[in-house]
Chain A
Amino acid sequence: MESCDCIDPPWPGDELLMKYQYISDFFIALAYFSIPLELIYFVKKSAVFPYRWVLVQFGAFIVLCGATHLINLWTFGMHSRNVEVVMTTAKVLTAVVSCVTALMLVHIIPDLLSVKTRELFLKNKAAELDREMGLIRTQEETGRHVRMLTHEIRSTLDRHTILKTTLIELGRTLSLEECALWMPTRTGLELQLSYTLRQQNPVGFTIPIQHPVINQVFSSNRAVKISPNCPVARLRPLAGKYMPGEVVAVRVPLLHLSNFQINDWPELSTKRYALMVLMLPSDSARQWHVHELELVEVVADQVAVALSHAAILEESMRARDLLMEQNVALDIARREAETAVRARNDFLAVMNHEMRTPMHAIIALSSLLQETELTPEQRLMVEAILKSSSLLATLINDVLDLSRLEDGSLQLENGTFNLHVLFREVLNLIRPIASVKKLFVSSSLAPDLPEFAVGDEKRLMQIMLNVVGNAVKFSNEGNISIFAFIAKSESLRDSRAPDFFPVHSDNHFYLRVQVKDSGSGIDPQDISKLFTKFAQSQSLAARNSGGSGLGLAICKRFVNLMGGHIWIESEGLGKGSTAVFIVKLGIPEYSNESKLPFFPKVSANHCQTNFPGLKVLVMDDNGVSRSVTKGLLVHLGCDVTTVGSADDCLRVVSQEHNVVFLDVCMPGVDGYEVAIRIHEKFTKCHQGPLLVALMGNTDRVTKENYLRVGINGVVLKPVSVDKMRSVLSEVLEHRFLFETC
């Protein structure tokens, strides 16, 4: 075999060294083959590795290097040309690949390095985020604490609870050693320790409010760190030799109701602040963090609001209590007033009678005494007694009337009365007095003044007498004229009576009465006082008028009750005066006035011509005279039933019969007895029929006997039509008629 001389082994005898090279090459090849395998395996596993192509290249490079080394194994000995060729191919390929790889790596390695940088960067960021998360969580917790604190504080409206809760919760949230609240005293010059966290009953420390630290805290709305040596912070004796914890103070504005305007927030110019002092635990390295300070500020504000709510509530509770007290007091006062009024009314009611009775006795007896024989001095004395007692009686009546008028318990007694007659009576009463004073009284009633009116006759008379009496009283000469007429609407509206609104209606009219006198007149400025009770002007009083001053006041009240108005006009002193009053009276309806349903009321001098529908029962045993009587009554329009015996009469008579004619000269029948029995029948009802006895003119009549048995009339037979007519009229009107023979 030809051996190639290209490679000469340097030391032919070094078989050991060749063996070692041989083994090393083998292992290198092995390594070179296994490394890519491992790479491939792990890359396949990872799947994120971005540089696969590079890896393939690298793998190829390594494989070829390994192949080279492997092939080298054969070159140690004698080897064939093929091997040489393969070896050369391998080497060439390896060279190519390795150069390419080398070039490739130049690009890749910086990238790989930068990846590392980014990784570092991201890690840093993650750390930062972590830190920030931590912060946020802390803040969130702080927020939660604040909310909880606020909730605790605001859940009560009691001032003490609010403050106590604040301190407790703050202490808990921030893990404080001590927490204290200083409130300003009433004078505002000092701060007093009001609440603390740890000490249950703080002794009332006070510190003057003018302290630079305090001022500093008060002037800012932030929590301010203060020195632990500050007087407000020195709450406990320093226990230990270690550093006391940091202290923070914040102001709490005390808002008053008056600070709240509707549209503005409360002004911060309120001067009153409380001071909250918070101390961190001593011996710890804790510092006040910003978020903790913020929490403290927020809490301070909330406390301020809660305190103001509590203050408002206290105010409103106080106001309500006050109101209830006032209500109770008012109620008591009202009941007392009612009792007083009732007592007064009872008193008046009793005194009314009690006072009047002796008064009347005095007057009556004095008048009687006047009638007897008296010496002139005695007569004078009796007259004086009479005059004084009349005056007193009038006064008593006036006062009693007035007090009844004042509290509105007086009511008018309305009835129908004759207006013309009233005026006449007034004149008749006044004339004697007037003539004594040589005064002439005249009256003129308007022609359209109705004769009858509906109103309180007694009170109207009283008013008239008072007014006319005053006219007479205050005149010494001349005449007094009375005019009465119906007031029309234009004349009713008077400038003197702006709130007098006459209302017209169909069944009312306004009576206007004017009384003019030519007496002493009235000063215009005294006119307003005239109607005030008990007030008399000087000139009047000086004239010893002898009046109580009540008369006009009472008149005014009565006139007002009657829906009218009264006033006095005068042109001045010495020029006379005119008193005018207007009252509202009703117009009577005549159809209401009849008491008997069948026919209208009759005035004294007329007889009825007919008695339509009058139910009459005639008892007569004589047929002829029975039919004659019946004929008479039928002619007069009556509805006649006849009976022939007393028994029939009693059987037939009923409440419907208005008149029963009894022929009492029937023999065998006692007229008295029949009458009695008829009355017996009707004692239960209020009114039986009228009984008229017919008798012959030779019979004896005893009026008294017939009256005793209740017979309303006795008539002698024979009866003519006219006689029957007048009999019926008389009996129906007067329920009484007795004719004698």
Chain B
Amino acid sequence: MDGVVQLQRQLLDYTTLLFQEGFLNDQFTQLQQLQDETNPDFVVEVVSLFFEDSERLLNELANTLDQQSIDFRKVDSHVHQLKGSSSSIGAQRVQNVCIAFRNFCDAQNTEGCLKCLQQVKNEYALVKNKLETLFQLEQQILAAGGSIPM
């Protein structure tokens, strides 16, 4: 029992840290609120979807930006998608980079785009890492017989 409480405390602290550092925002809390008995893995499902989607998009972006003549419209569309996904789950930093990315697209600034792409990739990797850790913590708590604190 003691372990559970500790784990829970750890989870809370970790989550708070993520919020403070701006990796996640209120939208993520909303997602957590949607999770209930009827939908116990909602957050995990959505986040997994996000990961898949984002990876695909990042690959696409890399390909598109690799072309000789860059189709900025296509780039913009991908970034838009990414922005949408990240904002849906509350990955704030990713979202912010996407916004900047879109501006460069509008300006048809290849260098800027490439730089943003790099940034996005980094941010994405970061948030993915964090979220995975979060989920692991949650699993540990559940395995120990506790419940996830809201």
Q: Which of A628-658 contact B (CB under 8 A)?
A: 628-629, 631-632, 634-635
Of the listed stretches B11-19, B30-38, B128-136, chain A binds: B30-38
Taking the complex as formed, is B71 at the interface, i.e. its CB lies under 8 A from any CB of chain A?
A: no
Q: Which residue of chain B lies nearest to A667 when distances are taken between CB atoms in the complex?
A: B77
Taking the complex as formed, is B140 at the interface, i.e. its CB lies under 8 A from any CB of chain A?
A: no
Q: Which of B60-109 contact A (CB under 8 A)?
A: 73, 76-77, 80-81, 83-85, 87-90, 99
Distance in angstroms between the alpha carbons of A27 and B90 in the assembled complex? 194
- Chain B residues within an 8 Å CB radius of A663: 84
Distance in angstroms between the alpha carbons of A665 and B89 in the assembled complex? 17
Q: Which residue of chain A lies nearest to B77 when distances are taken between CB atoms in the complex?
A: A667
Q: Does the CB pair B80–A625 fall under 8 Å? A: no
Q: Binary interface profile of A, 720-731, with partner B (CB < 8 Å = 1, else 0)?
A: 110000000000
Interface contacts (Cβ under 8 Å), in number, total: 70
Q: How far is the CB of A149 from chain B (nearest CB, A)?
A: 115
- Chain A residues within an 8 Å CB radius of B83: 696
Taking the complex as formed, is B49 at the interface, i.e. its CB lies under 8 A from any CB of chain A?
A: yes
**Contacts A623-B53, A631-B39, A665-B80 given; does A720 touch B88 at CB 8 Å:** no
Q: How far is the CB of B71 from chain A (nearest CB, A)?
A: 12
Q: Which residue of chain B lies nearest to A720 when distances are taken between CB atoms in the complex?
A: B30
Q: Which residue of chain B lies nearest to A719 when distances are taken between CB atoms in the complex?
A: B30
Q: Does the CB pair B85–A623 fall under 8 Å? A: yes
**Contacts A624-B84, A667-B80, A698-B99 given; does A635 touch B50 at CB 8 Å:** no
Q: Which residue of chain A lies nearest to B52 when distances are taken between CB atoms in the complex?
A: A623
Q: How far is the CB of B127 from chain A (nearest CB, A)?
A: 13
Q: Does the CB pair B84–A627 fall under 8 Å? A: no
Q: Does the CB pair A627–B45 fall under 8 Å? A: yes
Q: Which residue of chain B lies nearest to A632 when distances are taken between CB atoms in the complex?
A: B34
Taking the complex as formed, is A50 at the interface, i.e. its CB lies under 8 A from any CB of chain B?
A: no
Give the secondary structure class of B's interface: helix
Q: Does the CB pair B42–A624 fall under 8 Å? A: no
Taking the complex as formed, is B21 at the interface, i.e. its CB lies under 8 A from any CB of chain A?
A: no
Distance in angstroms between the alpha carbons of A622 and B86 in the assembled complex? 10
Distance in angstroms between the alpha carbons of A717 and B80 in the assembled complex? 13
**Contacts A622-B84, A622-B88, A624-B49 given; does A667 touch B76 at CB 8 Å:** yes
**Contacts A631-B31, A721-B30 given; does A668 touch B77 at CB 8 Å:** yes
Taking the complex as formed, is A208 at the interface, i.e. its CB lies under 8 A from any CB of chain B?
A: no
Report how many residues on chain A are interfacial, defined by Cβ distance under 8 Å: 22
Q: Does the CB pair A634–B39 fall under 8 Å? A: yes
Which of the listed residues B30, B46, B85, B87 has the most CB atoms from chain A within 10 Å of its own CB?
B30
> Is the interface on chain B under 10, 10 to 19, 20 to 34, or 35 or more residues?
20 to 34
Q: Does the CB pair B39–A627 fall under 8 Å? A: no
- Chain B residues within an 8 Å CB radius of A635: 33-34, 36, 39
**Contacts A624-B46, A665-B80, A667-B76 given; does A717 touch B39 at CB 8 Å:** no
Q: Does the CB pair B77–A624 fall under 8 Å? A: no
Q: Does the CB pair A624–B39 fall under 8 Å? A: no
Q: How far is the CB of B8 from chain A (nearest CB, A)?
A: 23
Q: Does the CB pair A628–B88 fall under 8 Å? A: yes
Q: Does the CB pair A624–B88 fall under 8 Å? A: yes
- Chain A residues within an 8 Å CB radius of B88: 622, 624-625, 628-629, 717-718
Q: Which residue of chain A lies nearest to B91 when distances are taken between CB atoms in the complex?
A: A624
- Chain A residues within an 8 Å CB radius of B76: 667
- Chain A residues within an 8 Å CB radius of B39: 631, 634-635
- Chain B residues within an 8 Å CB radius of A720: 26-27, 30
Q: Which residue of chain A lies nearest to B102 when distances are taken between CB atoms in the complex?
A: A698
Q: How far is the CB of A681 from chain B (nearest CB, A)?
A: 26
The 9 closest A-B pairs by CB, nearest first: A624-B85, A625-B88, A622-B84, A628-B88, A667-B77, A635-B34, A631-B34, A720-B30, A624-B88
Known: A622-B88, A718-B87, A718-B90. 9 other contacts (CB 8 A): A622-B85, A627-B49, A629-B88, A631-B39, A635-B36, A718-B30, A718-B88, A720-B27, A721-B33
Binding site for B on A (CB under 8 A): 621-625, 627-629, 631-632, 634-635, 663, 665, 667-668, 696, 698, 717-718, 720-721
Q: List 8 A-B contacts (CB under 8 A).
A: A622-B53, A624-B84, A625-B85, A627-B49, A628-B31, A635-B34, A665-B80, A720-B26
